[in-house]
Amino acid sequence: MPGRTARLTLLALAACLPFPSRVTAFPLLAQNWRELSPGERYDTLKNYQQHERLPEDSRRDVEKRYQRWQQMSPDERDHIRQNYQRFQQLPPQERARIQQKYEKWRRQAEPSH
Amino acid sequence: MLGCQNVRQDLTAWIEGELPEQRCDHIREHLAACAGCSAEAASLRMAIAWQQRALRAAMSLDGMATVALGAQLQRALAATAKPTPLWPWRPAWSSIWGRLALTGAALSFAVVVLLLAGGPGMVLMPLGLESPPAAVVQHTELFKDYPLIERLDVLEHFETVESMPLDDESAAQQG
């Protein structure tokens, strides 16, 4: 739960900040980052740290997936997001089984590529 | 001339007009010369006057039962009494140490939160008080939707993969 504690603390601190500090502290930052809430920014930074810790080839794999994600249409993205929500709602054992099933499916699909 | 102890014993009776005139003269004479007894008399006079006012106020209420009258007097006395401190047994010096301890606890909490959050940057950057790494700014979407993008392969074929039996499931179905 440390992540949740940190997020809650951030939200409390953000509420204490005067409005201009929250919005205009770094006007040159990309719009997306500025649009995120403190909690979302925290999660984003955590994900960045996780990504930085990955080995080089794993990082490259994620970056390729990101390129594919960027090329997807909004409908495709919506569909993927819905699947992600379904995946998130599954119990941990079931998620592991999905991963196993995917590995099996990939092995079967590979020769046809 | 009367001594202080004799005068103080008679002060209440003197204020309430219960002493003979000669005794009153002696007391007045002593009070004129003794500052301590004079102050005591003034204080006593104020207390008696207040009690008389409170009693008159209580008596002026019609139909007041004796018990209710007593309760009213108690409340009136409590209202004028010095407020009871939260910790009456606490010595004065402890408040300084108490404040130091509270400050220390608050600082410790802040340090623990910073450590749990992953350092000061992980607190300052989300609050907009420190600039995030350039990669995060350039690819905010990647790191925001990271858990999704990380599993993009599975999620793209989720329906197919989900409906696919594993080996043990296939065996169970055949059995």
Question: Is the complex ipTM higher than 0.90?
Answer: no
- In this predicted structure, the answer to whether residue B170 has a pLDDT above a threshold of 60 is no
Q: What is the pLDDT of residues B92-132, one digit of tens each?
A: 556 777 788 888 888 888 888 877 877 888 888 888 888 89
CB pair distance less than 8 Å for A14 and B126: yes
Q: Is A104 on the interface with B (CB under 8 A)?
A: yes
pLDDT bin (cut points 50, 70, 90) of residue B65 is low
Q: A30-54 pLDDT, tens per residue?
A: 458 888 999 899 999 999 999 999 9
What sign has the CA pseudo-torsion B100, B106, B112, B114? negative
Separation of alpha carbons B61 and B56, rounded Å? 9
Instruction: Reply yes or no on whether the pLDDT at A28 is more than 80.
Output: no
Q: Please indicate whether, in this complex, the C-beta atoms of B128 and A10 are within 8 angstroms of each other.
A: no
Averaged pLDDT for residues B142-150: 92
Q: What is the mean pLDDT of residues B151-157?
A: 91
**Residue for token pair 């108690």:** B74
Q: Do A51 and B166 touch (CB under 8 A)?
A: no
Q: Which residues 44-103 on chain A approach chain B with CB closer than 8 angstroms?
A: 44-51, 62-63, 65-66, 68-70, 80-81, 83-84, 86-87, 97-102
Contacts of B109 in chain A (CB under 8 A): none
Higher pLDDT, B166 or B66: B166
Q: Write the CA distances from B7 to B17, B23, B47, integer angstroms.
A: 14, 10, 18
Q: Between the ranges A76-80, B45-49, B86-90, where is the mean pLDDT highest? A: A76-80
Instruction: Note the pLDDT of residue B113.
Output: 80
The predicted pLDDT at position B54 comes to: 82
**At residue A22, does pLDDT exceed 90?**
no
Give just the sign of the alpha carbon dihedral B46, B49, B53, B59: positive
Q: What's the pLDDT at A19?
A: 42
pLDDT in tens, B11-41: 888 988 888 898 899 999 999 999 999 999 9
SS3 A55: coil
Mutation for B interface: A50, A75, A81, A101, most B CBs within 10 A: A101
- Average pLDDT score, chain B: 81
Name the residue among B135, B161, B167 with its Cβ closest to that of A48.
B135
